[in-house]
Amino acid sequence: MSYSPGLENVVASATSISTLDLENHVIVVRGYNLVELAQKSSYEEVVHLLLYGHLPDRGELDRLSEELKSERKVRGEIYSILSSLPKGTPPMTALQVGVAALAGFDPDLEDNSHDANLRKAKRLVAKTATLVANSYRILTGEDTIQPDNTLGHSANLFYMITGRRPTEEEQRMFDTLFTMYAEHELAVSTFTSRVVASSLTDMYGAIVSALAALKGPLHGRANEEAVKMLLEIGEPARVEAYLSDLLSRGLKVMGLGHRVYKKGIDPRAVVGRELLGAICKKKGREELFEMTERVTSYMEAKKNLYPNVDFYAGPAFYMLDIPIPLYTPIFAASRMAGWTAHIIEQQDRNKLFRPRALYEGAFNKPYVPIGER
Ligand SMILES: CC(C)(COP(=O)(O)OP(=O)(O)OC[C@H]1O[C@@H](n2cnc3c(N)ncnc32)[C@H](O)[C@@H]1OP(=O)(O)O)[C@@H](O)C(=O)NCCC(=O)NCCS
C-alpha cells in the first residue's frame, strides 16, 4: 500500500469521459478538445456528448434541447422551502437545499439503471440552471422568474439571472465560459460525486455532495474570490505591493495554481484571458485587464504559478454585470453535465470506493474504566 496526500498523482478511476492531456496541452472530452467545443458548439451539444458519448446530429440536438426546455420548471414547493431559508444563506448552500429537495419529486430517484440515470441527469441539468437564478432571487428578496423557452440553455440562464436577454456578443461569450466549465476529469467535486455514487445511493445525493465540494475556495469559489481580490486591489499600480503582502502572510492568490497544471497555464484560461481582454477593451475597463496581467506576471515570476480558468471566468462574468455570489452557482449549473455523466459511468460499472488510511494513532492502550480516568 502507498500513501499520497491529497491523492496527488494517484489514478483513482478509469473513465472514457475526459482526461487532461498535459503533453499536448488539451483537455480531452470524449475525444474532442474541450476548449474547441466551448468556442464552436453550444452547451447543449456538449451535454449530449457527455451524456450520450457522441456529438449530436441536428435531430438529436433538437430532441435534447426540447427535453431540457420541458424540464426547466421547478415546482412551487421547492421555492417555498428556499423561501424559508435565512436571507444570509450562501447561494451554493441554497442550491444544495434546492437540489436535495428536488430528489423527492423525481419518480426515478431510487432507480440507478442507465436509462433512469440519464433521465435524472437531464432533469438535473435543466432544473439546476433555473434553481441557480431563482434561489438567488429568493435570497435577495426578488420575485422568481419563469424560464424563457425561446432561448437556449445558457442564454436562458443569463436571462433568468439578469432579467434581460443577452446580446448576441454577450451570449457567445457567456456560452463559451459556461461550456468550458462543463467537465474537467477528476476535480474534487467530480471525484466526490463518484465516491458517493459508488455506495449505490441515488444521483441527487451524489450531486449534493459534489455541490458542497464545489463551494470551497480551493475549487469553485476561486472565481468569486479572484474578482473580489481585483476589486480590492483597485488599480494596476497597486498589484505588486498587494500580492507581496498577501504572500508574505502565507495566503493564496485565488485563481492561480492547479494540482495538475503545474508547468503551464490551464488551457481554458487562455480563452478566458482573450475573452476578458476583449470585453474590458469594449467597455473601457482596460485597467481591470491590466491588473490581471500584472497579477499573472508577478505570480509566474515569484512562485512559478499560472492562472486557472477561474481567474478569468470570474472577472469576465463581472464584466457581463452578473452578481459575484452567482459565479460558483453558474459553474455548478454547467458542471452538472460532467458530474452526472461521471455518476452514470460509475454506477454502470460500479466498484465501491473504500481506500485505506495511514494510521498515525496509538496501539494497545490499556482500557481504564470511566471512574478511574
Ligand atoms: C488549486 C490548489 C489547491 C492546488 O494546489 P496543490 O496542488 O495542493 O498545491 P499546494 O497548495 O500544496 O501548493 C504548492 C505550493 O504552491 C503554493 N501555491 C499554490 N497555489 C497558490 C496560490 N494560488 N497562491 C499562492 N501560493 C500558492 C503553495 O503555498 C505551496 O507553496 P510552498 O511549497 O511554498 O508551501 C492551489 O494552487 C490553490 O489553492 N490555488 C488557489 C485556489 C484556486 O484557484 N482554486 C481553483 C483551482 S481550479
pLDDT in tens, the chain (373 residues): 899 999 999 999 999 999 999 999 999 999 999 999 999 999 999 999 999 999 999 999 999 999 999 999 999 999 999 999 999 999 999 999 999 999 999 999 999 999 999 999 999 999 999 999 999 999 999 999 999 999 999 999 999 999 999 999 999 999 999 999 999 999 999 999 999 999 999 999 999 999 999 999 999 999 999 999 999 999 999 999 999 999 999 999 999 999 999 988 999 999 999 999 999 999 999 999 999 999 999 999 999 999 999 999 999 999 999 999 999 999 999 999 999 999 999 999 999 999 999 999 999 999 999 999 9
**Cα–Cα distance measured from residue 331 to residue 220, given in angstroms and rounded to the nearest whole number:** 7
What does the longest C-alpha to C-alpha distance in the chain come to?
Answer: 76
What grid cell was written down for 6? 491529497
Between the CA of 256 and the centroid of ligand 1 the distance, in Å, is: 7
Task: Report DSSP letters for 207-225, one per residue.
Answer: HHHHHHHHTSTTTTTHHHH
Pocket test for ligand 1, best of 224, 295, 303 (most atoms within 8 A of CB): 303
Global pTM value = 0.97
Instruction: Measure Cα distances from 151 to 85, 98, 154, 168, 323 in Å.
Output: 30, 23, 8, 12, 21
What grid cell was written down for 143? 420575485
Can you tell me which atom of ligand 1 is nearest the CA of 309?
48
Q: List residues with catalytic annotation.
A: 258, 310
Between the CA of 321 and the centroid of ligand 1 the distance, in Å, is: 29
Can you tell me which atom of ligand 1 is nearest the CA of 6?
8
Can you tell me which atom of ligand 1 is nearest the CA of 220?
46
Pocket test for ligand 1, best of 181, 188, 218 (most atoms within 8 A of CB): 218
Between the CA of 257 and the centroid of ligand 1 the distance, in Å, is: 5
Between the CA of 258 and the centroid of ligand 1 the distance, in Å, is: 6
pLDDT at position 1 is: 85
For atom 2 of ligand 1, which residue has the closest CA? 258
Can you tell me which atom of ligand 1 is nearest the CA of 247?
25
Between the CA of 327 and the centroid of ligand 1 the distance, in Å, is: 20
Which residues contact ligand 1 via a Cβ below 6 A? 6, 218-219, 222, 252-259, 303, 305, 308, 310
Among the listed residues 306, 293, 224, 296, the one whose alpha carbon sits nearest the alpha carbon of residue 263: 306
The DSSP secondary-structure symbol of 7 reads G
Can you tell me which atom of ligand 1 is nearest the CA of 187?
48
What grid cell was written down for 186? 477528476
Does residue 343 contact residue 328 with C-beta atoms inside 8 Å? no
For atom 29 of ligand 1, which residue has the closest CA? 252
Among the listed residues 345, 325, 50, 323, the one whose alpha carbon sits nearest the alpha carbon of residue 162: 323
For atom 36 of ligand 1, which residue has the closest CA? 257
Q: Which residues of 82-111 are buried (b: 16+ CB within 10 A; e: fewer)?
A: beebeeebebbbbbbbbbbbbbeebebbee
Between the CA of 356 and the centroid of ligand 1 the distance, in Å, is: 26
